[in-house]
């Protein structure tokens, strides 16, 4: 006689109420490693530009499109390929993404012109765009709800950690193997991670139960999470999400949601523009301001260290009713630090501290905005709202390297360029004043 519906396993309760299993830890760690590698691969091009420009006798602005290419690729990968994870599986897309990132980054080491950089960096960006959403989905579908927000924030902060570490290991790599060696290492690592996923990590259990409830892998995955369960015990299949309404860009810009949508887009665009000018050009700007190359490389990635700690700090305010004042303070303090570089761009102890603060106010605030975007709209429009915030925000990120290169080409000083970045951050602070105060975390 078949088991009753009452005796069936409720998968969500199973994952939420018991201690985290080694398998769940493995998924979270592998996802964090992917994010770490993504951060390295985003940063490595900016770190290589000063060396490549000297070697090829080209001015840094010749590499503006190469710096933007990875961001264009991220948009393409996230918009058109990453959603295939809902059909093919999170694990499948992540393995494919690691292969794309690994091969394209290794081939980047053979580049002989800025145009070749653009091609290979675009492909790298496509892989990054595929991996980030599926990492979040894969991990979120495994970890218990009680620790999910913290795990996801820390996992996404691994992007900043990867960029930060890139700046400290890049000078060593450059000294021994040149700039090409940095891309080789950046390519081999994701291939290793992809192999680890193939041999050690399973598909998302929730994905399999919803999409392929007869899949034989379900029993083996459950055995790794809850070995005491009888393999013959049936499980409850989650109900499909309601499909009564299909929300689109038109709805986001309709009368009901237009104001909050435009405010969110404006803040995200201005923030990502400022952040990616810094990510793309800060090594070059600091070297032009008189910093030794190794100091410039390490100083530049303090932005990412600040982002890691700043994001975690700001996340503490998300559910305490102080999100708005915390973001406003972060943006205004960051703008003041950028103006400090305009007044005194030369290397000094205060500059290192200022770089950390700038990272907290740009990269850290972006982590906070990513989390807020999940609570900015009601459930029926949440997915569309999050997706379009990312797409529109990436326009600011894509333009940033081009605009920064134009400013360098026009002869603006490093201090002037950094000082001008205070303006969009002040606009971010003003925009936050108009953000809605009620967050919907359901």
Provide the pLDDT for residue 296: 84
Provide the pLDDT for residue 206: 84
Provide the pLDDT for residue 437: 61
Q: What is 8-240's CATH number?
A: 1.20.1250.20
Number of residues written out for the chain? 442
pLDDT tens track for 254-307: 888 888 889 999 999 999 999 999 989 998 888 888 888 888 888 888 888 898
pLDDT tens track for 306-350: 988 888 888 777 656 677 888 999 999 999 999 988 776 554 556
To the nearest whole number, what is the mean pLDDT of the chain?
85
pLDDT, mean of residues 61-65: 92
3-class secondary structure per residue, the chain: CCCCHHHCECHHHHHHHCCCCHHHHHHHHHHHHHHHHHHHHHHHHHHHHHHHHHHHCCCHHHHHHHHHHHHHHHHHHHHHHHHHHHHHCHHHHHHHHHHHHHHHHHHHCCCCCHHHHHHHHHHHHHHHHHHHHHHHHHHHCCCCCCCHHHHHHHHHHHHHHHHHHHHHHHHHHHHHHHHHHHHHHHHHHHHHHHHHHHHHCCCCHHHHHHHCCCCCHHHHHHHHHCCCCCCCCCECCCCCCCCCCCCCHHHHCCCCCHHHHHHHHHHHHHHHHHHHHHHHHHHHHHHHCCCCHHHHHHHHCHHHHHHHHHHHHHHCCCCCCCHHHHHHHHHHHHHHHHHHHHHCCCCCHHHHHHHHHHHHHHHHHHHHHHHHHCCCCCHHHHHHHHHHHHHHHHHHHHHHHHHHHHHHHCCCCHHHHHHHCHHHHHHHHHHHHCCCCCCCCC
pLDDT tens track for 72-98: 998 888 878 888 888 898 999 999 999
Same fold, 8-240 and 245-442: yes
Provide the pLDDT for residue 319: 57
pLDDT tens track for 89-137: 899 999 999 999 999 999 999 999 999 999 999 999 999 988 988 898 8
Q: Domain extents for the chain?
A: 8-240, 245-442
**Matching residue, tokens 């964090």:** 32
Provide the pLDDT for residue 2: 42
Q: Are 133 and 82 in contact (CB under 8 A)?
A: yes
Q: Looking at the predicted structure, is the pLDDT value of residue 63 above 60?
A: yes
Bridge partners, 46 (sequence order):
none
The gap from C-alpha 429 to its chain's centroid, in whole angstroms, comes to 22
Measured distance CA(96)–CA(128) in Å, rounded: 11
Query: In the structure, what pLDDT confidence band is assigned to residue 244 with cuts at 50, 70 and 90?
Result: very low
pLDDT tens track for 143-174: 887 787 678 778 888 888 898 888 888 889 99
pTM for the full predicted model: 0.80
Provide the pLDDT for residue 241: 44
The domain made up of 245-442 is a member of CATH 1.20.1250.20: yes
Bridge partners, 9 (sequence order):
235
Which of 55, 71, 181, 163 lies closest to 114, judged by CA? Answer: 55
Which of 66, 47, 109 lies closest to 287, judged by CA? Answer: 47
Provide the pLDDT for residue 119: 97
């Amino acid at each position: 006689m078949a088991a009753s519906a009452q005796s069936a396993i409720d998968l969500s309760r199973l994952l939420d109420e018991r201690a985290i299993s080694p398998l769940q830890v493995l998924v979270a760690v592998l996802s964090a490693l992917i994010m770490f590698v993504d951060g390295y691969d985003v940063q490595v091009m900016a770190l290589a530009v000063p060396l490549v420009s000297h070697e090829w006798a080209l001015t840094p602005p010749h590499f503006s499109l190469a710096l933007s290419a990875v961001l264009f690729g991220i948009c393409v990968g996230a918009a058109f390929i990453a959603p295939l994870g809902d059909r093919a599986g999170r694990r499948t897309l992540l393995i494919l993404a690691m292969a794309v990132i690994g091969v394209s980054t290794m081939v980047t080491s053979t580049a002989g012109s800025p145009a070749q950089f653009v091609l290979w960096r675009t492909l790298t960006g496509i892989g990054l765009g595929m991996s980030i959403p599926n990492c979040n989905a894969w991990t979120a579908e495994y970890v218990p709800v009680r620790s999910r927000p913290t795990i996801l924030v820390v996992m996404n902060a691994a992007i900043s950690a990867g960029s930060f570490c890139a700046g400290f290991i890049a000078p060593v790599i450059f000294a021994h193997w040149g700039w090409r060696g940095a891309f080789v290492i950046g390519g081999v690592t994701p291939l290793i991670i992809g192999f680890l996923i193939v041999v050690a990590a399973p598909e998302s259990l929730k994905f399999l139960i919803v999409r392929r409830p007869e899949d034989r892998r379900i029993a083996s995955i459950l055995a790794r999470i809850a070995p005491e369960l009888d393999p013959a015990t049936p499980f409850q299949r989650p109900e499909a999400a309601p499909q009564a309404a299909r929300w689109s860009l038109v709805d986001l810009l309709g009368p009901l949601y237009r104001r909050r949508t435009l405010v969110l887009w404006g803040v995200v665009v201005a923030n990502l523009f400022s952040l990616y000018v810094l990510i793309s050009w800060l090594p070059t700007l600091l070297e032009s301001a008189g910093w030794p190359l190794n100091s410039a490389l390490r100083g530049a990635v303090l932005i990412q260290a600040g982002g890691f700690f700043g994001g975690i700090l700001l996340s503490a305010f998300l559910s305490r009713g102080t999100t708005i004042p915390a973001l406003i303070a972060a943006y205004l303090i960051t703008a003041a630090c950028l103006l400090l570089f305009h007044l005194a761009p030369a290397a000094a102890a205060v500059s290192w501290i200022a770089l950390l603060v700038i990272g907290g106010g740009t990269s850290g605030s972006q982590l906070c905005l990513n989390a807020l975007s999940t609570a900015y709209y009601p459930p029926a429009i949440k997915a569309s709202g999050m997706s379009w915030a990312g797409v529109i925000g990436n326009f600011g990120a894509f333009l940033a390297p081009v605009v920064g290169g134009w400013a360098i080409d026009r002869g603006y000083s490093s201090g002037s360029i950094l000082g001008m970045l205070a303006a969009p951050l002040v606009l971010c602070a003003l925009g936050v004043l108009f953000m809605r105060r009620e967050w919907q975390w359901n």
